[in-house]
Structures are given as structure tokens and as C-alpha cells.
Amino acid sequence: MWKRTPEQIRHLIVPVVVLIVLYFGVRHLLIPSTYGLWGHYRANSVIENAEIPVKYAGSEACADCHSEISATKKEGFHRGLACETCHGAAYIHTQDQEKQKPQIPRTRANCLLCHEYQPSRPTGFPQVVSESHNPLKLCTACHQPHDPKPPHPPKGCEACHATIQRTISISRHGSLACTTCHEVPVNHKLSPRANMAKKPQTRDACGKCHAQDSTAGKEIPRVDMATHGGKYLCWECHYPHMPGAR
Amino acid sequence: MDHEIARLYETLKLVVGFIYPNEIELGWNLLIVVYPYITGLVAGAFILASLVKVFKVKEVQPTYRLALLTALSFLLVAPLPLVVHLTHPERGYEMFMTPSPTSAMAMFGFVYIWYLMAVLLMEIWFDYRKDFLELADQEKGYKRFVYRLLSLFTKDRSHEAFAFDKKAVYAITVVGIPSAFLLHGYVGFIFGSVKANPWWSSVLMPIVFLFSAIVSGIALVLLIYMVVVLLKRQEPDMACIDKLASFLFYMMIVDFSLEFLDFVHRIYQSEESIHILAQLISERLFTSLIVIQLILGMIIPLVAIALIKMFKWPAEIRRLSYFIVGLLVQFGIFSTRWNVVIGGQLFSKSFRGLTAYKMSVGGIEGLLVSLVFLVLPFVILYVLIRWLPPWEKEETPPVQG
Amino acid sequence: MEKEGPGDSPDKGKRDFCRMILVGVASLSVPGALVAATERKSLSDWYGIKYKPAEHLYAMGIKVDRCIGCGRCVDACKKENNVPDYPFYFRTWVERYIETEDGQTTVDSPNGGKDGFRAPVSDKRIFKTFFVPKICNQCEKPPCVQVCPVGATYRTEDGVVLVDSKWCIGCRYCIQACPYGMRYIHPTRRVADKCTFCYHRVVKGLLPACVEVCPTQARVFGDLKSKASPIIQFMRFNKTFVLKPGLNTEPKVYYADIDLEVR
């Protein structure tokens, strides 16, 4: 039968078969042995990725030797802040103290990375405008980094609610104290989340000044509290910190 | 590396709006524009050749072998820009060793091998076997050995053997047409299947790629035929050229309709990406898309051939017009590839900004290397024409002077 | 190659030809054979034995309302993972969204947010503004894994998408396929690179570097297969969202309090 196939086919098949056999032979040589064990990839690569050396030790590692500082930090406002965020990667230091000494940041710039005022930062986060907040002093002069209580609680609310303060200060409510509408517990400035300030709950809160029969100043606009705004509460339409805006 | 970093800093200044930080650098550059352009020419030239064998269009017979050799020269160069573009070209073999079955790019390696070995080389071999035998008889020394080798040391000159050759060519061409569709349609699929990119992600992408490939392939063979005939100081076969231009015209109508459909579809659906894509076209792609691809590469050639068909101009005018049309089409289709590949990377996936492509002139991925890859197939074609003469003996007139 | 003489057998040319092909092809296999030969024969004495990947499924939660845009995460990631310090290569970054009262939204991420942000300069009044950290979503249906032609990127059993930097050929298809722009070509290693959820830390019970240093716990990391994990609490108490859900990549990074302007 072989002799009966056309000569062209016979002469073509030989190199084709040789190439195919070579291909499968070479595959065996060139494909790494762990390829395909766990999926369509080289299984050894998972191990290689898993055994990359670690650079950050993790916040739990520091407490082993620096127990006092850890204990202090656990009680203060920086309890959620990892040691290595300010002191840099320290894994080598945990293995061999002398080989790597973590840095101690001593400039204002380090603290300002988080605490410089930015309107995009969420309300309630303590922020300062560095140009006006003791510009010639180091932060550490007044704030102990491991227990950063301010030397005295902030006088106003703007230390943590700066954007709101900026918004309200150019509005018609600018002269109002925050406590006019917000009931602020005594310890709110010491431990904010445990002692949250309250927001008004009823229309009467605004009605104190804006109802027809209110005894507040003549320049304050009055509305008929019974009919104005239907079923809505006042702040569902009017933004109290910028009441002129819709 | 400093060179690259410096270029990236330059690119940073050209960014408009917001892009994801990693998007500053275009992953696929000029080399990846050259690649679909070249495979497009291969597919187009082969489809043209198939017109002769399968659809029995006798007028374009003079271009049959030329089209096959053109397809082969470009196919041989096609993988080069891809390999050069890899950051680890020495690992390029991995695509054949551990191809991922879900990856269009991996499957493409095998489609390429299939098309090269089982279709193109086979067809050329069967068509030329008789010539190889005859040339082996005529030549002496190492040339004789080469022709014996090319004929794979076959000796059968019987009538049945040559009849078998002819049948084989027909069968291979029939298989070859869908293979050519697959070869270049696959490139379209590589882009069209990327759901992350709304400029590429489209069902029409493989079809549009294919038809613009056919357009460019026909135009290329038309150009090469006219140049070769000019160099051999022969009279060009006007019936052949007119027929080629006619096919070019019809294929361009189809291609234009498809691209127009894509455009209308996009505007009508008006998906989220429409704003950034409109900005992309007006700010980054205006010259390459509106001016080169559309007006120079599509509208003017269509109008020119339509006018020729209507007014039946004299042969000299027709030849000149076809030549210019052929060149314009090449620029137009190259620009099409540019607009797809580069255009798709110029806008951010955040839909909020545009980056820029700073093309380098030198370097392994620069303009000069791309030009070499575009010129190289013609060098190969020259060698092929010398060793595998595309004209039957009877067609060659006696040498002048 | 000796020329064929009249006395040679007719098969001599064929044998020479075959020999030439064999030697040529065999020599192409040398570099690959070297790679395969240096492969370890036994896999590992701890991975799969002491640490069983199938028992874990890692995910991250991001509380947008807590991010202060300090960029410590970007900085720590670059240090932990040897990412070069140029503004073009990031495994994670922070974006700032500023929506002004005229309805326009501006987004920026200077150097990925690594050095923090400067105060916005604009005449327009700000309506709403916030920071959004971005990171590889470690998708359950990763398009990057789907398109890799050689299997150089893959998803582990514990849900992390990794890159095999010894196998990657640098075709950049994965970079095109990622809808979130999370992948890039490492400039010195010349292979694809991306966030790995600090896999080398996570399998040891540590947190990814970005989660470790975040001062406000905007990033929450954990094991979805665990009964008690920060991520479980996060998923329970927040209405979560993922980026580009329409693309069906099934991300494992969940956002709480995210805004409609975020892409």
C-alpha cells in the first residue's frame, strides 16, 4: 500500500512525521517537571512566590521587646497605627537588632502626611493647617507620638471637623456655635467615638429660630412650620451648614 | 532603562485627564501595528490566489503565483515583530510547549504553523513541483541540488503525477480559504475578545480585520504585479489589472459598510465609553482615522475606481490611478491597524483620560526596526521570484536587447 | 555539505537533509532544557502540608469613608515588594475624587498618592470629595489568567492571582486584558507584575503590607472561609460594591461607601 500512494505524499509524510515526533520529544525536555501539577502553571512558582523574604514585621512583632511602648500606644489615639508606618520596615531588626535600626522620624513632614488639613479627608479625622499650627515647633514638642493626646483639648470643633467649619463659616449660619444644634457630650473631645455628638431629630430644632412665633432676631427668615415642607424634616432639603444652597 | 524612564516622564506631561498610573506606558507599540498589517496582507494575497483556483476567475491568472509568493514572503516575516516585542524572546518557544487553551494568542501559534506548513508551503510546492523538476534538469552545481531538494527528491513526471499535483492544489486552496480567514480573523479575535477595552471589544472586530486584510492584500498584489511587469519591461495585462481593481472595489465596499456599521452601532447604543472614545478620536486619532484611514484610504480610492468604471478612461490613466489607489489603500489599512492597536491603548480604562504614544526612532522596538520588517518581505520576495519564477515559460517573451 | 556524486546512493541527499534538520532543531532546545533542568525535584516541605491553601479564600474590604489619602499603603507596598520608585509602576494606589458644585468630577493620583496629596487648587466650590484606594481585585474569573498564552499567571487555590516571573515571556496580553489597569511590566525583571496580596506574608499569617500600615483601617483583610475574620464582619455590616461588576470578573476586593463616580 505504501508503494501505491503517490510519490509526492510519500516524500511529504516523512519530514512531517519527523517534525511531529521531534515536537513531542522536545516538549518532554523543555516543559518544567512541576508544570501542570496543580493547574495550567508551574507549581514551583507558587512556592517561589510564597517564599519571598518579608520586609515588614507586623505590629505584633514589636510588642515582644518594646512592651512598654506597646502598652502605652494601645490606650491612645494611635492604637490602630502600626509601628512600622512611621518607623519603616523592620523585619530584619526583629531578627538581628544591630543589623537594622528602624528610623525615628523627627520632622513635621512625617506627621503632616496624615494630619495636614485636606478637604478630601473624612470628617472627624484630626487635622491641622500646618502653616498656622505652631509652625516653628516640632510636633513631638507637644504631642507624644505613642500617646498623641493634644496638650489641651481643642477649643472649637474645627480641629476635627475642619471642612464643615470652612463651609459653615461663609454661610448664613456662620455665626452660630456648633452646640446651637448639636448636643455634645462632655468627653467627646477626649474620646470622640465613644461619646458621639447628637444631631437634631425633630423640626422643632430648626423651629426654635425659624417658626413664625419664634423670639429670635428679626433678620432670621420665618416659615409656617405646619405647612412648609410637607412631611420632610428640614435638613432633608436644606443643608444646615450651607442653608442658602439648595 | 533610563532611556525608557525618560520617555515615560515625557509622556507623563502629555497625559490629559486621569489615567490609571500603570497605563502611562503603551504595552503594544508599533511592532504590534506592523504584525496585523503583515498577516492581513498574507490573508488578502492568498484569497486573491484562491480566486483563480477555486472560483476560476481566469483574468487574474497572471497574478496567481505572484500572490502565493507574496503571501509566503510576508508570512515568513510575520512572527518577527512578535518575537522582537517579547521582553523575553528566548522564552518564546513556551507558546508551543505550554499553550493555554483559553488564550487566543496561544492558539494562534498553531494556526500560524498550520497555515504556513499545511496550506501555503503545500500549495506552492504542489504548484511548483513540475517546475522544480524541470529546473533541476536545466541547472548545474549547487543550484541543481537546491531544486532537487525543493522537489523533495521526487522523480515522478508521469501524467498521473502532474494531474495529482493539480488536484492537490485545488484541494489545498479549498482548505486554505477558511485557513486564511482563520489566520487573520484570529488576530481580530485577539483584540475583539478583550472585554476590558471597549474600543476593541466587538463581535465585528474579526470580520472587519478580515475584510480590511483582503482589501490590503489585493491592493498589494496589484501594486507588485504592476511594478514587476514594469521592471521586466513587459506590457501589463490590462484585463487582469482591471479585474483586480474591480475585486478591490467590491471588497472595499464591504469593508466600508462593516466599519460604518460599527460606527453607527456605537453611536446608537451610546454606552458609557462613548465620551472618552469621542475624545480619543477628536484629540488623538483625528489625522490617522479621519484623514488617512477614511478619506485617503477609503473614500478617495472608492471614488477613483467608481469613476474609472463609469467613464472607462484610457489604459495609461487607469494604470496610474490604480497605482495611486493601491498606495493609498496601503497607507489606509496600515492606519486602520494603528487606530485599532495604538488607539485602543491611548484612552484610560477609567474612561477619564488619554495618554500618548511616544514612538522611538531607534532601539529594538523603534521606527527603524519596523521599517526593516516592512521592507524585508520584499527582499524575500525578490529571492523567491529568482528561484521560483512566477511566470510560466510560455508567458515570458524573448529577452529584449 | 558534500555534493551529490554519480556513485552515491539516491538516499544520501535525504539523509544529509534529515541530519541537518535534526541538529538544527535540537540546538534550539538548549536554553529551555537549562530551565527545565534547574527545576526542583520535590516541591515543598511546608506548602500544602503545614499550610493548606484549599482551606483559605482571601479577600479585602475597603471602607472609602476611612481613607485619609496619606499614601502609606502605596509606600509600604513598593518597599515590601521591590517595586521601583518611579511614578509609572504601582501594585496599589490611591485616587482622589473631587466633585464640584457644577457637577464636574476631577480625579487625580499624583505618583499614585505615595507622597500624599496637595490641597486642591480651584475656584470652584467643592460639593463632595474623598479618597479611594485601588488594588488588584484578585478576581475569581480573572481575564488576565484567561488570556495568558503560556500559563505564566494563574489563580492559586486560596484565591490569589500570581505571576510566574520565570515563565512569563512578556507579551503584555494580560496587561491589555485587565479592566482595572492593575498590571504592568516590571522595568528591571522585564516580566508582568501585579499585586499579590503579599502572598509571601499572607501564607505566614501576616497581613499584606498595605493593610498593615494603614493608619485608619480603611483596608480590611481576611479569609472568607474563616468563621471569624475582619472581612466577614466587613461584609456583614456594609453594603458592598465591586468595581466594574458588568464585566463579570467577580472581584475579591469589596468597597463600602463608594460613590457612583468611581471607575
DSSP B22-34: GGGS-SS-HHHHH
Is the pLDDT score of C217 beyond 90?
yes
Most confident of A124-128, B109-113, C201-205: C201-205
Q: In what order do the strands lie in the sheet with C219-223?
A: C219-223, C58-63, C253-256, C240-241
Q: Is B106 on the interface with A (CB under 8 A)?
A: no
Choose the mutation target among B93, B94, B97 for the interface with A, i.e. most A CBs under 10 Å: B97
Contact between B99 and C149 under an 8 Å Cβ cutoff? The reply is yes
Determine how β-strand C58-63 pairs with β-strand C253-256: parallel
Q: How confident is the model at residue C1 (pLDDT cuts 50, 70, 90)?
A: very low
Closest CA to B161 of B121, B118, B132, B119: B132
C116 phi-psi bin (left φ>0, alpha ψ -120 to 50, beta other): left
CB pairs under 8 A between B and C: 151
Which pLDDT value is given to residue B390?
Answer: 87
Could you report the per-residue pLDDT of B68-125, keeping only the tens digit for each?
A: 999 999 999 999 999 999 999 999 999 999 999 999 999 888 999 999 988 999 999 9
Using alpha carbons, list the distances in angstroms from residue B338 to B36, B288, B293, B345. 10, 8, 10, 11
Contact between B129 and B123 under an 8 Å Cβ cutoff? The reply is no
Residue A206 burial by CB count (10 A; 0-12/13-18/19+): exposed, middle or buried? buried
Number of neighbours of residue C22 by Cβ within 10 angstroms = 12
Q: For chain A, count helices (H), then strands (E).
A: 9, 0
Q: Extract the C-alpha cell encoding B6.
A: 525618560
Mean pLDDT, all residues of chain C: 90
Which pLDDT value is given to residue B396?
Answer: 47
- Contacting residues for A210 by C-beta, under 8 A, at least 6 apart: A216, A220, A221, A222, A223, A225, A234
Q: Is C190 on the interface with B (CB under 8 A)?
A: yes
Contact between C140 and C161 under an 8 Å Cβ cutoff? The reply is no
Which pLDDT value is given to residue C18?
Answer: 60
Q: In what order do the strands lie in the sheet with C126-135?
A: C105-108, C92-100, C126-135
Distance CA B27, CA A141 (A): 50
Could you report the per-residue pLDDT of A129-155, keeping only the tens digit for each?
A: 999 999 999 999 999 999 998 888 888
Question: Which portions of chain B are predicted below pLDDT 50?
Answer: 394-397, 399-401
Tell me which residues of chain B, numbers 83 to 102, contact chain C at a CB-CB cutoff of 8 Å.
85-95, 97-100, 102
Distance CA C35, CA A239 (A): 67
Which pLDDT value is given to residue A189?
Answer: 87
Q: How confident is the model at residue A211 (pLDDT cuts 50, 70, 90)?
A: very high
Distance CA B109, CA A187 (A): 71
Comparing C188 with C26, which gets the higher pLDDT? C188
- Contacting residues for C234 by C-beta, under 8 A, at least 6 apart: C61, C63, C220, C222, C240, C254, C256
Which pLDDT value is given to residue C10?
Answer: 56
Give contacts of B351 with chain C, Cβ < 8 Å.
Answer: 263
DSSP C105-139: EEEE-GGGGTT--PPP--SSPEEEEEEEEEE----
Contact between C253 and C60 under an 8 Å Cβ cutoff? The reply is yes
Q: Which chains touch C (3 or more CB pairs under 8 A)?
A: A, B
Tell me which residue in C4, C149, C172 faces B95 most closely, judged by beta carbons: C149
Which pLDDT value is given to residue B392?
Answer: 65
Could you report the per-residue pLDDT of C119-153, keeping only the tens digit for each?
A: 888 878 899 999 999 999 999 999 999 999 999 99
Choose the mutation target among B84, B87, B90 for the interface with C, i.e. most C CBs under 10 Å: B87
Give contacts of A29 with chain C, Cβ < 8 Å.
Answer: 29, 32-33, 36
Which pLDDT value is given to residue B339?
Answer: 97
Distance CA A192, CA A196 (A): 6
Which pLDDT value is given to residue B400?
Answer: 46
Tell me which residue in A7, A16, A31 faces B161 most closely, judged by beta carbons: A7
Which pLDDT value is given to residue A117?
Answer: 92
Which pLDDT value is given to residue A5?
Answer: 83
Determine how β-strand C219-223 pairs with β-strand C58-63: antiparallel
Is the pLDDT score of C19 beyond 90?
no
Measured between CA atoms, how close is A80 to chain C, in angstroms?
Answer: 6
Distance CA C251, CA C261 (A): 18
Tell me which residue in A6, A16, A31 faces B97 most closely, judged by beta carbons: A31
Closest CA to A193 of A125, A143, A242, A92: A125
Angle at B63 between CA B61 and CA B64, to 5 degrees: 65
Distance CA C156, CA A46 (A): 8
Tell me which residues of chain B, numbers 270 to 329, contact chain C at a CB-CB cutoff of 8 Å.
none
Contact between B208 and B259 under an 8 Å Cβ cutoff? The reply is yes
The amino acid sitting at A79 is: R
Which pLDDT value is given to residue C122?
Answer: 82
Q: Is B5 on the interface with A (CB under 8 A)?
A: no
Is the pLDDT score of C34 beyond 80?
no
Distance CA B218, CA C244 (A): 42
Distance from chain centroid for Cα C32: 26
Q: Is A49 on the interface with C (CB under 8 A)?
A: yes
Distance CA A21, CA B202 (A): 39
Is the pLDDT score of C7 beyond 80?
no
Reported ipTM: 0.92
Range C106-128 average pLDDT = 92
Tell me which residue in A6, A11, A27 faces B164 most closely, judged by beta carbons: A6
What is the length of chain B? 401
Which pLDDT value is given to residue C12?
Answer: 64
Q: How confident is the model at residue A245 (pLDDT cuts 50, 70, 90)?
A: low
3-state secondary structure of C59: strand
Q: How confident is the model at residue C4 (pLDDT cuts 50, 70, 90)?
A: very low
- HEC letters along B39-65: HHHHHHHHHHHHHHHCCCCHHHHHHHH
Measured between CA atoms, how close is A1 to chain B, in angstroms?
Answer: 17
H or E stretch at B377: helix B367-387
pTM score over 0.80: yes
Closest CA to C210 of C43, C114, C72: C72
